[in-house]
């Protein structure tokens, strides 16, 4: 069985013209947006839709598992000012839905229940919820707004900008939420792409087997996560809550010992094969790295504690029966293309991407026994309270 949680978000599959910059389903073709790149999957669109929907579902079930924990946290840890009728919620790294809407609604429901219990009043008549959807400026906010739930009970604003810095006024936010975004770094760590650096990494990610490479990735994670927490610490009111969901690596486990790490190693091997065929320059490939770092548990906790703005109220492993799927080369190849295809195409070109994906699926059966014996990763739920 494969860990189904993806490195990135997969959003809404719409039914608009393919000239739109959004997730598109057209006759015979499927277009998926990855960053600001559009990927064309060809005539086998049914399998692509199935696999993309599986990925959407995998994140959705994690959010559903966290729902009870969020509700309990808001009930016991959040102070609600009954004298104020405005309540602000933000989702950082929102993508284009639909999971962002589910996460936001879970928070609103929990706040409403607490307000009703505390005041004996109807929250629908007394609280005005404002939801702030944040992501990079190249995120498709038009699609996000067009697919808002028709029965939503909140006001909406899009907030473009990097969440590694402030995007909201000071002391304006009551509850923040971020899911499956914090493994992405703001940049490739320094020295990683330099052949003259001791941290030079010929792999495409931090495997965990090179101490110098691991240290460079960890240093960048500390900078980025520290910036994220500093910004949220300034935006959240005292006593406000910040919920973080995503993937990390258990202490004592190397990234390449996990299934996600093995799949990235497999992608790197396929890219090397494409370079040997002449479709990719080998030197350029040797300097190519994904800016991703699923941190270890202790590393996460250390950065939070060093920040000093928050109390860790919960740091838990969460799981769900639907978080795993059968090991399937087609699913793995499509998932890889959706997650990393935009980056690969922009760096090496469309022909190299298509050949890489062809080899990825063709050679997947060779690594299935290794994947079946991979060490477990970890899906986390973190609750922080602003001091």
Find tokens 């924990």 and name the residue: 69
What are 161-174's pLDDT values in tens digits? 999 999 999 999 99
Angle made by CA atoms 369, 371, 377, in degrees to the nearest 5 = 155
- How far apart CA 137 and CA 23 sit, in angstroms, is 17
Beta strands in 9-144 (DSSP E): 24-26, 29-34, 37-40, 86-92, 128-135
For the chain, the average pLDDT equals 85
Q: Does residue 29 register a pLDDT over 80? A: no
User: Crossing angle, helix 259-276 and helix 350-372, to 10 degrees?
Assistant: 140
Homologous superfamily in CATH for domain 65-324+354-386: Vaccinia Virus protein VP39 (3.40.50.150)
| pLDDT greater than 90 at residue 12 | no
Provide the pLDDT for residue 321.
Answer: 56
List of residues 6+ apart from 358 with CB closer than 8 A: none
pTM: 0.85
For the chain, what are the domain ranges?
65-324+354-386
pLDDT of residue 98: 84
The predicted-structure confidence for 227-239, as pLDDT tens digits, reads as follows 999 999 999 999 9
Sheet holding 378-386, edge to edge: 155-160, 128-135, 86-92, 173-179, 236-248, 378-386, 310-317
Q: What is the pLDDT of residues 246-295, one digit of tens each?
A: 999 999 999 999 999 999 999 999 999 999 999 999 999 999 999 999 99
Percentage of the chain surpassing pLDDT 90? 69
- Quick: pLDDT tens for 118-153: 999 999 999 999 999 999 998 999 999 999 999 899
- Does 301 have pLDDT greater than 80? yes
Residue pair 39/341 in contact by the 8 Å Cβ criterion: yes
């Amino acid at each position: 069985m494969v860990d189904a949680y993806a490195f990135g978000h997969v959003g809404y599959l719409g039914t608009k013209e393919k000239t739109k910059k959004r997730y598109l389903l057209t006759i015979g073709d499927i277009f998926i947006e990855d960053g600001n790149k559009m990927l064309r999957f060809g005539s086998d669109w049914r399998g692509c839709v199935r696999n993309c929907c599986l990925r959407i579902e995998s994140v959705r079930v994690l959010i559903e598992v966290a729902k009870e924990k969020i509700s309990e946290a808001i009930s016991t840890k959040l102070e609600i000012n009954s004298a104020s009728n405005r309540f602000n919620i933000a989702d950082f790294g929102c993508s284009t839905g639909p999971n962002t809407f589910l996460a936001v609604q879970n928070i609103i429901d929990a706040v409403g229940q607490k307000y009703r219990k505390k005041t004996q009043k109807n929250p629908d008549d007394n609280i005005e919820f404002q939801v702030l959807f944040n992501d990079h400026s190249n995120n498709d906010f038009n699609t996000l707004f067009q697919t808002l739930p028709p029965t939503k009970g909140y006001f909406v604003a899009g907030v473009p900008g990097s969440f590694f810095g402030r995007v909201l006024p000071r002391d304006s936010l009551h509850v923040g939420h971020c899911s499956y975004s914090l493994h992405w770094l703001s940049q490739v760590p320094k020295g990683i792409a330099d052949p003259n650096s001791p941290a030079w990494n010929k792999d495409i990610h931090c495997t965990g087997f090179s101490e110098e490479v691991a240290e460079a990735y960890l240093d960048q994670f500390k900078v980025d996560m520290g910036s994220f927490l500093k910004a949220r610490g300034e935006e959240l009111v005292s006593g406000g809550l910040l919920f973080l969901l995503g993937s990390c690596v258990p202490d004592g486990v190397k990234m390449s010992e996990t299934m996600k790490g093995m799949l990235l190693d497999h992608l790197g091997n396929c890219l090397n094969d494409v370079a040997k065929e002449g479709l990719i320059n080998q030197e350029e490939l040797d300097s190519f790295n994904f800016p991703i770092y699923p941190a270890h548990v202790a590393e996460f906790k250390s950065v939070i504690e060093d920040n000093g703005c928050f109390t860790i109220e919960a740091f838990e492993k969460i799981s769900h029966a639907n978080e795993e799927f059968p090991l399937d080369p087609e699913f793995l190849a499509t998932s890889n293309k959706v997650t990393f295809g935009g980056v690969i195409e922009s760096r090496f070109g469309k022909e190299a991407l298509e050949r890489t994906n062809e080899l990825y699926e063709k050679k997947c059966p060779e690594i299935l026994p290794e994947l079946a014996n991979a060490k477990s990763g970890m899906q986390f739920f973190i609750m922080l309270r602003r001091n």
